Structure 1
Amino acid sequence: MKAIRLLNDDLGNSYFESGTLPEYHKIEVEYFNIQTKIEPWQQEQHTAPREQFVVTLKGKLEFTTSEGNTFIIEPGIILIAKDIDGEGHSWKILDGDVWERVYIVPRHNDLDYFVAD
């Protein structure tokens, strides 16, 4: 499955990698939650509150890294948010005003199984 991973470099800048998550890997999780509400602060520059997988169910978004690079998230693309330090990222909805998503929080320091392109 297509995936994009957000990370921090040594200076705290956020950047992204495109790749995939292989099928049939068991990823242990602590919990997950569903969210549809959009808080204004979420669209401003911010870090991920914790390492998490974000599964978009509805919506198309453009994410921007702290260095100004952009990528698109929509259903069928898993976001692995690991930019928990530094300046973080921002996003905006491209179509409509809805972002339905599931946040899945893996156990601390577990592998994410991401394979870069």
Structure 2
Amino acid sequence: MTLEKAETKNYIKAIRLINTENNDCTFDIGKIPIRQHINTGYFFAQTDTSLQYSSHPAPRRQYVITLRGKLKFTVTDGKTFILEPGIILIADDTQGMGHTWEIVDGTEWERIYLPLDEDADDHFIIDSQPSI
């Protein structure tokens, strides 16, 4: 599944990884309002391929801002989505098997992590449920 740019310039396209009732992982497609203040720290990461292809939950609730790279994410029921610059990932699948990812264009994934407090609003607005 690929995503178009956000419909208006007032939003940034986003995908949120979440846990289901039985701690499986799925995702929602939506957006985040621009100019939204988020009280968070940050850190940078470059390609660490040790987790590529292996199921894992997010280590914490966090925004993941891709600077370089194009990846395919797969959730527990086999549904997939493409993540690339211009799409914010909200990793909120902190339990269970989690998700897998693989680099599909190039060899690098450069990103910024913005950890969120457990009770912090992620400001995500759902647009639709994923389709197979």
TM-score range, shorter chain: over 0.9
TM-score by length of 1: 0.95
Q: State the alpha-carbon separation in 2 of the partners of residues 41 and 62 from structure 1.
A: 13
Q: Tell whether 2:31 aligns with 1:20.
A: yes
Match of 1:86 in 2: 96
TM-score by length of 2: 0.84
Please state how far the C-alpha of 1:97 moved relative to its aligned partner: 0.6
Q: Deviations over 1:62-100 (max 9, x none)?
A: 000011110000000000000000110000000111000
Runs of at least 5 residues in structure 2 that lack an aligned partner in the other structure:
1-11, 128-132
Identity of aligned residues (%): 44
DSSP 3-state at the match of 1:43:
coil
Kindly provide the amino acid, as one letter, of the partner of residue 9 in structure 1. T
DSSP 3-state at the match of 2:60:
coil
Q: Tell whether 2:17 aligns with 1:2.
A: no
Runs of at least 5 residues in structure 1 that lack an aligned partner in the other structure:
none
Q: Deviations over 1:8-31 (max 9, x none)?
A: 0001110000000011221111x2
Count of residue correspondences:
116
Alignment of 1:1-117 (within 5 A): 1-29=12-40, 31-117=41-127
Superposition RMSD on alpha carbons, in Å?
Answer: 1.0
User: Which 4+ stretches in 1 moved above 6 angstroms?
Assistant: none
